[in-house]
Each structure stands twice: as C-alpha cells, then as structure tokens.
Structure 1
C-alpha cells in the first residue's frame, strides 16, 4: 500500500523534480499547499496528480494547438 500523504522530498520525487524545484513551484503557487499534520506538512498524492494532469494538453497560445503535426 502506498501512503497518500507525502513529505516534501517524496512529493517532489513523485512529480519528478528536485526538492529545490518543488520549493520554487510552491513559492510560485503552482503546487498545492501541504496539509498540516502532527508529523509535519504533507502533500496529498491526489492533489499532486491533479497538478500534473493540469500540465497536460495544449495551453492557450501554445503553438502546438495550431500545428497540423500535433492536431488530434
């Protein structure tokens, strides 16, 4: 069974970045805020999944959305 709440180092690894990059994403407001627990701040795996899912697909103004090469 996998833990649902992850400490920062595991949360960073889970989304594929280093702890310093995770800190920058957190400071920028890109990463969801942690849940305060008696064991320290923890990130919900489902919140992290939602963050990664939000990165998928063409973004507004993304040149790929106008390219025939990337057309669906």
Structure 2
C-alpha cells in the first residue's frame, strides 16, 4: 500500500489551491481552513509516528434486484 501521508499531502494541496482560486468560498459559514489544515498536519504526523493507520475502503452500488 502506498504511503498514506500522500493522502494528507493531497488534502493540504487542495486547501492551498482553494486559498488561491476561491478565497470567498473559504469564508462561508462552517468553513474553518485553519482547523482543517491543523487536522491534516496532525493526522499526517500521527501516521508518520505509526500512531494512526489508514485503510482503503471501496464502496460500490449494488444493482437493484441483485
């Protein structure tokens, strides 16, 4: 399995991209970029310290009548 820290790096890059391309969206009620960034950094550090693990879950839609 690839390094799960890459997932957190991607999340941080998305937050950075939003800061550049859609700053108004980040000021909407309920959006706390500082808290999101802190959670991403904390989770990445916990994975690096092997305190937190990561699992890949794949969901699919079951066709009707199956």
Query: TM-score if structure 1 supplies the norm length?
Result: 0.23
Higher relative contact order (CA 8 A, sep 6+): 2
Greater share of residues in helix = 2
Query: TM-score if structure 2 supplies the norm length?
Result: 0.24
Greater share of residues in strand = 1
